[in-house]
Amino acid sequence: MANYQDRQIHEECGVFGVFGVEKAASLTYYGLHSLQHRGQEGCGIVSVDNRTFHRVKGEGLVTEVFNEDNLRTLTGNMAIGHVRYSTTGGGGIDNVQPFMFMHSTGDFALAHNGNLVNSFQLKTFLEERGSLFHSTSDSEIFAHLIKKETDSRDRIFPILEALNMVEGAFALLIMTASKIYACRDKHGLRPLSIGKLGDGYVVSSETCAFEVVGAEFIRDVAPGEVVIIDVNGLQSVDYSKFKHYNMCAMEYVYFARPDSDIDLLILVDGDTMTLAQEEEITLPLYELELRTGISISPMIVLKKLWDNRPFKTPFYVNIINEGIVL
């Protein structure tokens, strides 16, 4: 048992999905290329065409795994993709995502960024009930939790139950024959954004991938939320009443691309603020900016002035709706 914990693979990866757009796999290829900085060990794409799933995956970079010939086999107007970077443990093709699962209640594919802190307990729970694991990745646990439900209920119900059993940081894409489910952990530790492309939608770990495929950013998936994407558009379901925005420093310092938008609002208590006090706050941020190459745009405001603003600017609205409290 201890050996399994030592071998456990925890991942900081990138996910990308497309719904309702022709040549979805090709768009996913370009999306993954934009997210290549998030993982270089392996990558994969699964598409759906007329309820049939197609998959190509392999170890290596996006440009090494995919070519015109194998992309041509990924037909359909739905696709999800994944680039993988494991922070501990070994590699191997078995751990390259997306995973595909055949089930009596309907086939599905899954792509996951993050790790689960209760993975050992969940794996033991599932194995005692007959589940067989084919990888050492946290991600497969999600699939087995969903698969353990064998009734004919809508897929969203076992997904919600599975999400309420896991603890950790994750962004998750689940694709069935007709829908994509975009899920984010209740702490908001892993990023996940939604964009509009023509009559369809895209989902990505970072907004930098939207520009490459010509998509327009709509919003982030909220902590504790599942966004269902299908022919009817977007539908939101909360799986957790506990919802809190937190920021994982690893995401922004080590994984995020500089052209993924990050602004920093700093509220200071007190009645006045001197230039020296402001410099004391901002200088460490500029040093961090130089070390990482990531653009940080700090705005320092007295808290009492922020709370009593006479009007609401677009920046204010964006902060209130999408800001992450640190």
SS3 content of the chain, % helix, strand, coil (to 5): 30, 30, 40
Q: What is the CA radius of gyration of the chain?
A: 21
Q: Pairing between strand 42-49 and 216-220?
A: unpaired
Task: Identify whether the C-beta of residue 168 lies closer than 8 Å to the C-beta of residue 196.
Answer: no
Do the bridges between strand 99-101 and strand 108-116 make them parallel or antiparallel, or are there none, so unpaired?
antiparallel
Provide the residue type at 325 as one letter: V
8 Å CB contact between 77 and 50:
no
Of residues 13, 43, 183, 208, which has the active-site annotation? 13
Q: How far apart are CA 188 and CA 265, in angstroms?
A: 18
Residue 13: active-site member: yes
Q: How far apart are CA 175 and CA 46, in angstroms?
A: 9
Catalytic residue IDs = 13
